[in-house]
Chains A and B, each alone.
Chain A
Amino acid sequence: GAVVSQHPSWVICKSGTSVKIECRSLDFQATTMFWYRQFPKQSLMLMATSNEGSKATYEQGVEKDKFLINHASLTLSTLTVTSAHPEDSSFYICSARVGGRPRGDTQYFGPGTRLTVL
């Protein structure tokens, strides 16, 4: 149980284009999903918290107009990188948590999406 999928697993795009990444919880309902970014040899940095049916909460320094997050259902959240630039090239990982309580709920991670912007 607790499987999270991401699509696509990798994407290469030209500078200025937009890229959409999907995150799905396959066998459970996730009221909360998280989006992380990881640069080479660095740890995961939380970008935003996504709650079903409400606006995402962005971490300090993350541009909400550039990284659009939609959590349309209890099993799907999407991250759209708008007008991507080479510095947006990174490993994007989502996670999903069961339930709404902040205490002690394990986050299960998707396999990640490697974005390369040329």
Chain B
Amino acid sequence: GQNIDQPTEMTATEGAIVQINCTYQTSGFNGLFWYQQHAGEAPTFLSYNVLDGLEEKGRFSSFLSRSKGYSYLLLKELQMKDSASYLCAVNDSWGKLQFGAGTQVVVTP
């Protein structure tokens, strides 16, 4: 079966760094996505990893280790607007996205 695990909630202060881990066991793997979702809105694309290593995009970075079935999303210089749910999603063999339950990040002043 499909299994994608990520923490339920994380809290950090403005300006800090937060790392959201995601572990997965899926039928096939064609890349891993991270999406940001604010309450009541649709997900917005943040990053995509298909090869091992770190992808950096501004304040956000994403890392992938395929052998370990592990990824993380790193948010640096946290801002209040970063308070949102962050979804880890694996693109399986059929081109379907399998989503984790999401990690609610709460940024405090």
Q: CB within 8 Å of B: which residues of A?
A: 32, 34, 42-46, 49, 91, 93, 95, 97, 101-112, 114
Contact = CB atoms under 8 A, between A and B. Distances in A.
A95 B97 CA distance: 11
Contact of A44 (B31, B41, B45, B99): B99
Contacts of A45: 99
Interface stretch (B19-27, B62-70, B87-95): B87-95
Interface in B65-100: 87, 91, 93-100
B52 to A, nearest CB: 15
B30 A103 contact: yes
A108 B94 contact: no
Interface residues of B, number: 24
B48 interface: yes
Interface of B: 30-31, 33, 35, 40-45, 48, 50, 87, 91, 93-102
B102 A102 contact: no
B97 A34 contact: yes
A103 B33 contact: no
Residue among A34, A44, A101 having the largest count of chain B Cβ atoms under 10 Å: A44
Nearest to A107: B97
25 contacts: A34-B97, A43-B102, A44-B43, A44-B87, A44-B97, A46-B96, A49-B96, A93-B43, A101-B95, A102-B91, A102-B93, A102-B95, A103-B91, A103-B95, A104-B31, A104-B91, A106-B48, A108-B45, A109-B35, A109-B43, A109-B44, A110-B42, A111-B41, A112-B40, A112-B42
Contact of B100 (A43, A46, A106): A43
B41 A105 contact: no
